[in-house]
Structures are given as C-alpha cells and as structure tokens.
Amino acid sequence: MRTILLASLTLTLSLGAQGYVNVWTNYLDYAGDDYSCAVGMDGKYNVYVGGRINTGTWDMWTVVKYSSNGATLWMDTIPAQGSSGSNVWGIAVEQDGDAYVTGYTSVGDTIYWLTVKYDPQGNIVWGDTIKNELGRAITLDKDGNVYAAGNGGGYWITIKYDSTGNILWKDSLQMRGYPKGIVLDDSNNLYLTGVLGSYVASDMLTLKYNTERSIVWMDTIDVSDYDNAEDIAVDRWGNLYVTGYVYNSDIAYYDPYTIKYDAAGNVLWIREESSGLGYGVGVDTLGKVYVAGAVFVLSALETRWLFIQYDTSGNLIEMDTLDQGDGSEAWGIDVDQAGNYALTGYALAPGTTAAWCTDLYLKYRDVCIDTCLSPLVISPLYDYTPIVRVHNGSYEITEDFDVNATTDTSGVILYSSTYSIDGSSPGDTVDISLSPWSDIPHEITSARLRFTILHESGYDMVPDNDVMSITLYIRPVIDSAVAYDGTTPGSGIDDDDYVALYFSHPMNQIAMDASSIDSLLSLSGGHTWLDGSGLIGNITWSADGKVLYVFLTTTDSPPTISVGDTITPDDTLMDIYGFSCIDPVVITGSFGPAQGVLCKEGFILEVADINTGRISFIYTVPTDEPYRIILYGVDGRLAEEIKGEGKGTYHKEISHIPPGVYFLRLEQGEGVISRRVILLK
C-alpha cells in the first residue's frame, strides 16, 4: 500500500531565529522499509529524491520529483531482477531540471553500476551500466559533463561522461573501501571522499585530482577504528568540507565529524559533535556549512534527524534534531548558493516501517508594501505623485523587484507607473515615489489606487502583502467661472448680468446671499460681488447641484467684480460626498455683448460624467450657422466628428468606441463648450 503525506505550506519559522521556513514535508511509504538516500534541487526549488522502495520482494530503484510546493510531479522506478535489489546512491540536478542519478541494480547474482539522465519531465534521456561495479556519488561541471564515483573489485572508480552519456574516461585507484562523495571546484579539479578500509577497520580518505587526472594530494583521518567519510562539498573559494563520523569508545557510539580543507589539502578546522552520524554536507555562497545526519538519543535509545550549521570559521550556529521522531535519520542534503536546502532520509512515521522523508527549507522571503505615504484626498488640478513605503523582510536575501501603481475607476485604467528596485538589502525600508499622475479627470469623485510588488524571482512567501488597494477621493473643483451678459445688451455690468460657476461634482448647494457670498467665494484684488448699496441679485443652484448662477445688481453703482478676477472658495463649500472645494478659478467670459450669446437663448452641451456602453448627450445651438461636435481621447486623437447646421436642441449618441477618458467638444462660430467624459464597458 502506497502512502504519500504532504505537510502544507507554513509561514512559521521552524528554525526560529535562523529565519527558515519548513515549506513542506513529504513521506513515501510502501509495504516494506523504504530509504531515500540522495537529494537535489533545481533553480525553481523543485526537489529530486533518489533511493529505494520495498514493495514486498526486492528493493527497487526509485526517483521522485517534487514541485516547490511539495506536489509529486513524477516518479520513476527500475525493478531489480536479482536478490541484491537496486538503489539510488547519488543525484545531481541542473538548474533547468535535468537530473543525473547513479547507483546500482542487480540481475540474478550480478550487480550493475547504473547511471541515468532524466529530463525535467522524468523521461530517461540516456543510461549506462557497468558490470560488477556500483555507483556511489555523482556531480556535474559547467559544460554539461557528468562525473560519477563508485567502486568494484577492490578499486575506487571515477567515470567522466559527456552530456549525451558517452564515456570520456574512466579512472581506477586500487584501494579498499569505497568513495561516498564527489565534487568539482570552479577550475574543474576533482575531489573524492569516502571510506578507506573495511567494516572491521576504516579511515576517512579525501583526495584531489587535477584536470590531467593526476592526484595532487591525499589525506586520511584516523581517529578511531571506525572512521567514515560520507559526503563532500566545495565553496566558491575552493575550500572543501567533508562530513562523516568517528567511533567514540567512551559512549560506544559514533560522533559527527566535519573537516574543512583548503584547496592545497591543509586542514583548516575540525568539528566533532557528540553522539551521532554525519551523512550529508553542503555550503552556501557565504561559506556557511550545513550538515545532515542523525543523533543518538540515549533516553529513547533511538536516532533522530540531525541538522548542524557552522559559519565559515567552524563556529556552531545551530544544531537541531528537527522533528521526524524516533528511529529516523537524514541521509542527504542539497544546499543552493543562497542557503536554501532540501533534506532527505527516513522516518518511522506514519507507520512502523521505514518511510522516505523529505523536507524543503527555504529562507524566509517577503517584500511587502508597508504603507501609502501620499495623500488620499487630491485635487484634479494638480499632478498627483503616489508614494509608497516598501520593506524587505527577507532573511539574508538581497531582493530585486518592481513596484507598480495604477489608478482606475470601474475597471478603466486611468494611470500606471512602475519603479524598479535593485539590490534591496535584508531589513531595508524604502520610500518610493512613482511618476506623477497628470490629467486627472475632474468628473470622477474617487478612484482606486493599487500598489503591486512584482518579484523578479517570482517567489514570495506572503503574497497577500504584495498588493495594497486604497481609495483616492477627488476633491470637487470649479471647472470654469464664466461671466455672461444678460438679456439687455450693454457694456459693463448691468442689472441682469450674471456669473455661472460650473462644478465638477454635485455640490451641497449651500445657501448664499449678500451677507455671505464675499466670504464663501472671495474675489481677488479686494473686489466684491455686491453693488454700491451692498446688494446682489438671485443666487441659485441648478437642479443637479453642478452649476451656481450668481446674478448681479447695480443699485447706486455696479459691483467691482470683473473678468480676470480669481475666485477662492471657502472650505465650507462641499460636494455631496463631504469634500471641500478649495481650489481657485479665474473668471472668463464677458459682461458685454461681445460674447454674443444670451443665457435664455442658450449654448448648451449636456452629458453625464460617466457613461456605460455609449456616450449619450443633448446640445443646443442658438443660431443657424454650421456647428460641429468632436470627440477626442486624452492622447489628442480624434475618435468621432459630427457636423450639422440649424439652431435647435438635439440628442445624439456615440458608440463603437473603446472604454476610456474622452473630451466632448461643441463648436459654433466663436462659441465653444468642452466636457470631459468617462466611458465604461
């Protein structure tokens, strides 16, 4: 019976202050004892595990690929045809997902060294077998060549394949024991480590080949009668790290034993911990050393997984038994340059027989939007610069990312800007000012401002804080203040002249009279709306609250208001949403007959601020001369043109144009009216 258990994604830092997340744990359990022996990762944190499973007869070669979230992507098995079974001992993975696996299989009483290349989909690309030998470890160079180490007939054996599986050379060293680890440095010098001797007495052996396959140096460690080297890693400076175990007669058990060599074979440091086994070793770009193995727990008389981390000087950073229960051991580890790692081995959970157990640990990664620093109530008369504070909360990871800001209303994008951040150090907080938003539509009352972090790595552990959506409120403004000559033509201000103030939003229609207008709508230059007797005509709002008509009087003498004056509204003048209109406007038009259009005759363009599907509008032209209506986008491109002649009131619709922000313009003679319009789907 096959059982696969998957621990779901967790954002709890399982290693506390070390800042790692145990992203998932997987168990693979068949009928008998199942052991995973080797592990590797590709550039997308897919994890490849090799070992053996027992379905009740012989052990079976097994390779499994897990996704970065722990899902099984594929599984390949090669059944043994002999009593020695089959097993994977070593695995190496390229960044793009090609996997190279070595171990052995058996036919009858004969063992065969088996090396296989899998593509990212789990298809076998090539395979090679060698009789009476078995593979122990495997590694790759930058040119796609494959190096496998194994043993047979009393020899340590190293084989170099090209990328298509052809053997380029095979080298043998007549020595008892067997290699357990193989690695290349950046100059393609080759290093082996393993067991020299037998199960009765053994030493650790590490050696270096140069590119001509000559042995440069060889070192043995003889601490006790039973000293085993299990794995080897190299850092970017060419230093080597070997882990294994030595026998401790005082406790009648082994101690984990880790050695650091320089490239010349000099021992830089040795670390021996108490009561356990070292099986796998890796190193990151900072020189931190990661060891996987087992620790013997005397109180339980059982082994448990062991994880050790040293700094580059050999100081102990952390030692943890993890949480795989009694009767468990970690047999393999793969560490990437950033210090993320995958562990594999066996555990008794969830049953009583040994089951594969694999963990993926990733450094905590989270770049988050902290807060919006720019104001949330804005004026459409001025450019608006979105400002956001972003924090790099990742552990020991310098992040590159983009921050995008958009504004939209009802799904129509009005603005978009992106800012790139390169090299944000862990713990950095930065305030980002994006490009200004210009041409803010006057008619809209609000817009959604959305900040989004775009990760170049495509990986973030807390995606929920990568997006912030907030509401921007658009203050009302006076789009225009126009002076009109009344029904009685004449130069200067007379008793029926008026000023029309056109607001962008429906207003609260605050009552005004002679006692309040000069404070509510103050004029520049000390001018006043009131005539010489301190009087003013009617002050009325349009039904929709978007136009204020102020009629003037000339009792004794006319008011001093004039075209060109600046009107500054008081902050008590608000739209129906409670936002003050405070931006000044300059009076245009004329109080004399030169304007040529009387209020009662009308020159009118009525259109809703926001239209859906089509733009519908009503317009009135006061004379028989030709007129035209043009619709153009915010980019200035003409979208529609309507021509006509003859005075009257008309209704038109414009459809078959994409959603967006437009300007609708009515022209007749010298008269011009322009309105901004938003078209939704």
The pLDDT score that the predictor gives to residue 598 is 35
Q: What are 233-256's pLDDT values in tens digits?
A: 999 999 999 999 999 999 889 999
Taking CA atoms, 681 is separated from 333, 479, 633, 654, 659, in Å, by 55, 26, 16, 13, 6
Distance CA 451, CA 412 (A): 16
Contact in structure between 151 and 158 (CB atoms under 8 Å): no
The pLDDT score that the predictor gives to residue 634 is 62
Same domain, 553 and 631: no
Taking CA atoms, 266 is separated from 217, 238, 281, in Å, by 10, 12, 19
Same domain, 517 and 405: no
Residue finishing a domain among 428, 451, 473: 473
Report the amino acid identity of residue 555. Answer: T
What's the whole-number mean pLDDT along residues 272-289?
A: 96
Give φ, ψ of 47 to 5 degrees.
-115, 135
Structurally, how many domains does the chain consist of?
A: 4
Residue finishing a domain among 363, 396, 428: 363
Q: Three-class SS of residue 16?
A: helix
pTM beyond 0.95: the answer is: no
Same domain, 111 and 179: yes
Q: What are 375-401's pLDDT values in tens digits?
A: 999 999 999 999 999 999 999 889 999
Residue 67: CATH number of its domain: 2.120.10.30
The pLDDT score that the predictor gives to residue 522 is 98
Residue 445: CATH number of its domain: 2.60.40.10
Residue-level length of the chain: 681
- Most confident range, picked from 494-498, 515-519, 628-632: 515-519
Structural domain containing residue 672:
602-681
Residue finishing a domain among 455, 473, 491: 473
- pLDDT over threshold 60, residue 12: no
Q: Which residues, at least 6 apart from 479, have a Cβ–Cβ distance to it below 8 Å?
A: 442, 502, 503, 504, 585
Distance CA 247, CA 56 (A): 34
Report the amino acid identity of residue 468. Answer: M
Same domain, 24 and 35: yes
What's the whole-number mean pLDDT along residues 308-322?
A: 94
Q: Please state whether the peptide bond connecting residue 350 to the residue before it is cis, i.e. omega within 30 degrees of 0.
A: yes
What's the whole-number mean pLDDT along residues 192-218?
A: 94
Q: What are 41-100's pLDDT values in tens digits?
A: 999 999 999 999 987 778 899 999 999 999 999 999 998 888 899 999 999 999 999 999
Containing 388, the helix (H) or strand (E) segment is strand 387-392
Same domain, 564 and 608: no
Containing 519, the helix (H) or strand (E) segment is helix 517-520
Q: What are 100-137's pLDDT values in tens digits?
A: 999 999 999 999 999 999 999 999 999 999 999 999 99
Same domain, 544 and 395: no
Q: Quickly count: other Cβ atoms within 10 Å of residue 606's Cβ.
A: 14
pLDDT band for 593, please (50, 70, 90 cuts): low
- pLDDT over threshold 70, residue 297: yes
Burial code (b: 16+ CB inside 10 Å, e: under 16) for 512-531 equals: bebeebbebbbbeeebbbbb
Same domain, 609 and 551: no
Burial code (b: 16+ CB inside 10 Å, e: under 16) for 270-282 equals: ebebebbbbbbbb
Distance CA 197, CA 57 (A): 31
Q: What are 88-104's pLDDT values in tens digits?
A: 999 999 999 999 999 99
Q: Rounded to an integer, what is the distance from CA 456 to the centroid of its chain?
A: 7
Same domain, 613 and 592: no
| DSSP output for 444-491 | -SEEEEEEEEEESS---S-GGGGEEEEEEEEPP-EEEEEEE--SS--S
The pLDDT score that the predictor gives to residue 497 is 85
Q: Is 205 exposed, middle or buried (0-12, 13-18, 19+ CB in 10 A)?
A: buried
Same domain, 281 and 254: yes
Same domain, 333 and 208: yes
Q: Three-class SS of residue 253?
A: strand
Q: What are 395-441's pLDDT values in tens digits?
A: 988 999 999 999 999 999 999 999 999 999 999 999 999 999 999 99
Same domain, 129 and 269: yes
Same domain, 344 and 382: no
Looking at residue 593, the DSSP 8-state letter turns out to be G
